[in-house]
Amino acid sequence: MNYPLYMDYNATTPCAEEVITAMLPFFGNHFGNAASKSHPYGWLADQAVEDAREAVAQLIGAKSKELIFTSGATESLNLAIKGVYDLFPGEKQHYITCQTEHKAVLDSMAEIQRRGAEVTYLPVSSEGEVDLNFLEQNLQPHTKMICLMWANNETGIIHPIQEVGQIANKHGIIFLTDAVQAVGKIPVSTQGIHLMALSAHKLYGPKGVGALYVRHNHYLPKPLAQLHGGGHEKGFRSGTLNVPGIVGFGKAAQLRFQAKEEESSRLEKLRDRLESALLELPGVHRNGSYRQRLSHVSNLSFSGVEGEELLLKVNQRVAVSSGSACTSISPKPSHVLQAMGIPSDLGRASLRFSLGKDTSSACVENAVSWVKSVVESLRSS
């Protein structure tokens, strides 16, 4: 297949060659079940899982025993949110999150709301930023959790996680962060955080594997399991472990630990070049703050064109999205951009460019040339 240029790294990343190489033996010769403790097949698989757990833990500054492997960040977030809700049956419960969270958070919050929880959805400014004073004003005596993503998947906005952690700790509240887009791209720490969701396929690892960080030795309670059947992963998540995927996750974490800062600097230069060139077109606007954001992400609105037509045409040669990969085929404007007050027509005519390790200067120049020609063509038709 003659693939277009890839600029949708926030949706998923290609597995690094080193990751594929590390995984392959565990599909073949080393096929053992990590829960089989009575023979060498299981021992080897179990050791590989623990080595990977250590590597992923190092990437976020955690202890290996604080990581629970899951099928991905969506499962991790469901476990964290519903698992905390289940801790307090019959009690009045209040949760705080944000209107611009990923659907895995918003839909989980809607589910516990259906079961009886109160949920406050924090608004954001036109730049996509949250007001921490407003957050603290909304705390209730029965607030059980604050949930705020580290970096937004659509705009790249980085939220003030350290300050939110301080607020949560001051009031004795569980703090959950969806760190999927941040881990492996910017420095991440578990300080002040009780629960953190991660995903391998966002950092050049395989799809279908993620993790939940669960803070150890803390007075705040841990979530209750949502999957039962064997008590795997310290009882938090039953089910046979995806050993090849976990091995790949570990290898990807090692690679990102070594490369993230240098790669971030390189991609920022390329992103800025792409963005400044496209902003030269009349009627093009940047969505979100340019102050605190991921270095590889640019979200731009193009006035005077129909959104669906723009996306289809651009994707003939440059693979981009109009928002989250989970909702990118929807003709509706992104809920993130709506929350920022961006008009529906501009929201639909917005493109997210997210760059990665295979993005070169030539890729940027080609992308700029193609997008400009598409926009000009659509506006003149």
Q: Give residues with Cβ within 8 angstroms of 207, minimum separation 6.
A: 12, 72, 200, 201
The pTM (predicted TM-score) of the whole model is 0.95
Per-residue model confidence (pLDDT) at position 289:
85
Output b/e per residue, 152-180; b: 16+ Cβ within 10 A: bbbbbbbbebeebbebbbeeebbbbbbbb
Per-residue model confidence (pLDDT) at position 24:
98
Per-residue model confidence (pLDDT) at position 330:
54
Domains and CATH numbers, the chain: 5-12+260-380 (3.90.1150.10), 17-254 (3.40.640.10)
Residues tagged active-site = 326
First-residue to last-residue Cα distance in the chain: 30
Task: Name residues of the chain where pLDDT drops below 50.
Answer: 324, 328
Per-residue model confidence (pLDDT) at position 332:
74
Listed residue (341, 345, 363) closest to 354, CA to CA:
363
Per-residue model confidence (pLDDT) at position 1:
80
pLDDT tens sequence across 74-97: 999 999 999 999 999 999 999 999
Q: Do residues 188 and 59 touch, judged by C-beta distance below 8 A?
A: yes
Per-residue model confidence (pLDDT) at position 381:
80
pLDDT tens sequence across 303-336: 999 999 999 999 999 999 986 455 545 557 899 9
Per-residue model confidence (pLDDT) at position 331:
59
Q: What is the DSSP annotation of 196-217?
A: EEEEGGGTTS-SS-EEEEE-SS
Q: Give residues with Cβ within 8 angstroms of 70, minimum separation 6.
A: 76, 79, 209, 210, 211, 212, 237
